[in-house]
């Protein structure tokens, strides 16, 4: 299930998106600090653009500013009202940060929300983080291995 989010019509959105694209290009070239500056400009031009916060969060994470990245991800989710592509991407990014920090419950919750917004990656992660699903997958794997090897031990 995906949610529809009305397009942003706020002043400065076109400039914000143009600056955001420039920031993405800089980030893809490994120029993360310059990318962050472009994302800062994009946010200054239109402070209600969740995508700009989402992209700045990714660049911040790449330069090791994880706490700042989390703040931007929270803002992206808030601005998008938890719906649409920006929210989905922000939830996945935030879930990954939580997972890297060993915060599995927070990670699972964010992946679940992103899965509900249509992220197939998040759906796979929800299963991977479910201890019962992991146990069942292991047991099924063992059963299939035994069957392949001609063993009758299930």
The H or E element spanning position 14 is helix 13-28
What is the C-alpha to C-alpha distance for residues 98 and 11, in angstroms, rounded to an integer? Answer: 34
Domain boundaries, the chain: 9-79, 81-154
Over the stretch 11-42, which tens digit does the pLDDT of each residue have? 889 999 999 999 999 999 999 999 999 999 99
Whether the predicted pLDDT of 137 surpasses 80: no
Angle at 81 (CA atoms; ends 80, 86), nearest 5 degrees: 30
Over the stretch 90-127, which tens digit does the pLDDT of each residue have? 999 999 999 999 998 999 999 999 999 999 999 999 98
Decide: helix, strand or coil at residue 3: coil
Angle at 141 (CA atoms; ends 111, 138), nearest 5 degrees: 50
Q: Write the class of the CATH domain 9-79.
A: mainly alpha
What pTM, to 2 d.p., does this model score? Answer: 0.79
What is the C-alpha to C-alpha distance for residues 74 and 72, in angstroms, rounded to an integer? Answer: 5
User: 52-79 b/e with 16+ CB inside 10 Å = b?
Assistant: bbbbbbbbbbbeebeebbbebbebbbeb
What are the residues whose beta carbons fall under 8 Å from the beta carbon of 132, sequence distance 6 or more? none
């Amino acid at each position: 299930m995906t949610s529809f989010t009305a397009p942003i019509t706020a002043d400065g959105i076109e400039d914000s998106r143009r600056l955001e694209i420039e920031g993405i290009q800089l980030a893809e070239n490994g120029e993360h600090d310059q990318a962050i500056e472009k994302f800062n400009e994009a946010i200054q031009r239109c402070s209600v653009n969740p995508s700009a916060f989402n992209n700045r969060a990714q660049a911040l994470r790449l330069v090791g500013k994880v706490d700042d990245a989390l703040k931007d991800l929270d803002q992206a989710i808030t601005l998008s009202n938890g719906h649409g592509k920006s929210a989905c991407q922000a939830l996945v990014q935030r879930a990954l940060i939580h997972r890297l920090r060993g915060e599995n419950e927070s990670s699972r919750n964010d992946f679940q929300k992103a899965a509900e917004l249509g992220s197939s990656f998040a759906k796979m992660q929800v299963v991977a983080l479910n201890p019962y699903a992991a146990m069942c997958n292991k047991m099924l794997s063992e059963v299939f291995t035994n069957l392949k090897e001609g063993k009758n031990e299930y």
